Structure 1
């Protein structure tokens, strides 16, 4: 745009001051702009010489600005950031049934860490570019830079194709707004929202949130339970991967099991002896959650097993029971 403006100004100046034809004026503007040193069309008047001096200085300023912009792109990593954003946008456009994480603060970053461990595809919306730049390259997170409260940014993150939105912005009002927008654009989407204030919880549920998490409340309960139920908390920390004997919880649906294990009882599957994992609970379409299910409980279509074990136990379970 600056180059185009410069040519228009130069051409117009020579037409007005020197009465040049349009083609002669354009020729003078180009040779002056390019500083090639060709001979003028005609000898310049005093006003023409003053205009040419100012015009040359103006063009030198454009040249200096152009060099500084190119230097920023080449030497300060701007080109790399643009290319990274381009690649990230291409990857986002391929995603389906993914998770959109709004806000990469403390809670958002922890959510992304867990999703990354579980190999779940996700996209992060973050408006602070300095925060995006602090993420290590080996993480290979997909980012959309922008304000998550804007419809176009949510759509850029693939809201229409996503399965879940985690909104973890500092402002409860923003989280309510994102929940409303997400449910309006994609009514089937699952929304998990963060709340700081107690009265925001009901508003988020009314807006359509499936789950509302209050980190401050959970933190206070956790600290109190460290006093009242220390061993329970120690066990729960094992489930969260804290400590030497790390345990993991997994959910296994009927559809994931190999065909030969369909419509079999827990006793017939003999899961504990074959893999080492323990069945903690059973999700039945009719009865809901059943804790510590009986051995004669049959696994049928739509049912889900909640299992517990070490990483090795779960690996054995997957090899033996889960479809490839």
Structure 2
């Protein structure tokens, strides 16, 4: 009860109900009105509408009416100020969207956190969205957030290097963090903070300078990407082996309308506890997909593995196929 009255909103609501109740009871028993007439008189009195009296009032009823008007003026003034403050401070559109977003994030598991929604951040978000991956964007620029806030993207406003902001983005339940901030120093702080909170998190960081590569790796980044270096190498490759680069680019596109590459855990496509060979699995016959790579439990890659290769536990295979073949693969093994 104490907490109820401590809240200004609930106190104002209580006072409104109390004044209304006093008015109805007063007109009912002092002025000898019916319940309907008493309610009507209370409403037009406390709202100061100014309609005429339902029945002529005697001296006692008029004194009660004066008392009710004076009390209701103060109570209504207080209630309007409290309700207005409540609407402006707690029920603004921005706060509603933020609370809804935080509630949605609290239910996420194994999602991806993207720090920064610049060029690289947007590209990462588009790729993840194409693969139906859940992700959260941490961005401190309010203008950027407002530009995309009406979309289905979940934003957390704030500095990604702060633990509180990372926790709002659900870093404890996340499986991966991509920090794509323009400053290497900012990315370094994000990596340090994220690794401290979640030691199992996969962290991918952007870097502008080669000198930042080792620092980010030492700070806890699993992978460090240098967009400028990759861009230069890509342009040079278009001169040396243009057809090959174009083919690889087609493989790396999101996969809705073109050839696609997928990585799959062997546990998802083999019987529990059973190790089989690629020949016994025979994905080509079952789905049309071709196995082009194999990742061992130790992290080593085998390109174009032999059919006699035995699929070990905690390993992965990389398959190539058209979208309909990949979809058939997912349906067959419930991926």
Tell me which interval the TM-score lies in, with the shorter structure as reference length: 0.7 to 0.9
Preserved CA contact (<8 Å) 2:109 2:173: yes
- Aligned partner of 1:103 among 103, 108, 116: 116
Aligned to 2:3: none
TM-score, structure 1 normalization: 0.72
The separation in 2 between residues aligned to 1:130 and 1:213, in whole angstroms, is 27
Q: Which residue of 2 aligns with 1:212?
A: 224
What is residue 27 of structure 2 aligned with on the other side?
Answer: none
Q: 1:283 to 1:86 in 2, by over 3 A?
A: same
Paired position in structure 1 for 2:101: 88
Counterpart of 1:259 in 2: which secondary structure? coil
Q: Where does structure 1 lack aligned partners over 5 or more consecutive residues?
A: 4-35, 40-58
**In the alignment, which residue of structure 1 is the partner of 2:311?**
299
- Output one character per residue of 1:219-263: Cα deviation in whole Å (capped at 9) or x when no partner: 111111111110111101111228997111111112211528942
Taking structure 1 as reference, are residues 126 and 189 closer, same or farther at Cα in structure 2, changes over 3 Å only?
same
Structure 2 CA distance for partners of 1:84 and 1:189, relative to 1, 3 Å: same
1:200 aligns with 2:219: no
1:190 aligns with 2:171: no
Q: Tell me the alpha carbon deviations over residues 93-138 of structure 1, each in whole angstroms, 9 at most, x when there is no partner.
A: 112222111111111111111112222222111111211122263x
Per-residue deviation, 1:69: 10
Q: Which residue of 2 aligns with 1:113?
A: 126
| Paired residues, number | 267
The answer to whether the Cα contact below 8 Å between 1:258 and 1:323 also exists between their aligned partners in 2 is no
Mapped partners of 1:287, 1:190: distance in 2: 15
Aligned to 1:11: none
CA distance 1:219–1:297, shift in 2 (3 Å): same
Structure 1 residues 242 and 117: CA distance shift in structure 2, 3 A: closer
1:134 match: secondary structure: helix
CA contact (8 A) 1:278 1:308 kept: yes
Which of 224, 230, 234 matches 1:222? 234
1:149 Cα deviation from its structure 2 partner: 1.5
Structure 1 residue matching 2:92: 3-state secondary structure:
helix
Match of 2:179 among 167, 170, 182: 167
Match of 1:259 among 271, 282, 290: 271
Q: Please, which moves more after superposition, 264-273 or 176-185?
A: 264-273
Cα 1:276/1:67, change in 2 over 3 Å: same
Q: Of 288, 293, 316, which residue of structure 1 is paired with 2:328? A: 316
Between the aligned partners of 1:269 and 1:159, the Cα distance in structure 2 is 37
Tell me if the contact between 1:237 and 1:243 (Cα under 8 Å) persists in the aligned partners.
Answer: no
User: In structure 2, what is the Cα distance between the partners aligned to 1:223 and 1:212?
Assistant: 20
Alpha-carbon distance, 1:68 to partner: 11
For the residue of structure 1 that corresponds to 2:313, the secondary structure is coil
Pair 1:242–1:112, CA change in 2 (3 A)? closer
Moved over 6 A (4+): 66-70, 242-245
Number of the residue aligned with 2:157 = 145
SS at match of 1:120: coil
Asked whether the equivalents of residues 254 and 262 of structure 1 are also in contact (C-alpha less than 8 Å), the reply is: no
Q: Is the 8 A contact 1:192 1:209 kept in 2?
A: yes
Alignment RMSD: 3.5
Distance 1:213 1:189 in 2: 17
Query: Could you tell me which residue of structure 1 aligns to residue 297 of structure 2?
Result: 285
| Partners of 1:123 and 1:142 within 8 A in 2 | yes
8 Å CA contact 2:136, 2:154 repeated in 1: yes
